[in-house]
């Protein structure tokens, strides 16, 4: 059960990191879109 516990922990860490990256990329995309819109 120890190995499975570690696997579950790493899956949770990777999922959390992936979600953080997605949110960050989405925010940067929105900021870039806002800059393009205000410049034209």
CA distances for 17 relative to 8, 11, 37, 39, 40, angstroms: 14, 10, 30, 33, 35
Threshold 0.85, pTM exceeds: no
- Say how many C-beta atoms besides its own lie within 10 A of residue 30's C-beta: 10
The whole domain housing 34 covers: 1-40
Say how many domains are in the chain: 1
Q: How far apart, in whole angstroms, are the C-alpha atoms of residue 13 and residue 32?
A: 28
C-alpha dihedral sign at 18, 20, 24, 30: positive
1-40 tens-digit pLDDT? 566 678 888 999 999 999 999 999 999 999 887 777 777 5
Tokens 């393009």 correspond to 36
């Amino acid at each position: 059960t120890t190995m499975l516990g570690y696997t579950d922990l790493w899956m949770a860490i990777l999922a959390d990191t992936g979600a953080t990256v997605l949110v960050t990329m989405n925010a940067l995309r929105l900021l870039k879109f806002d800059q393009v819109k205000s410049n034209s």
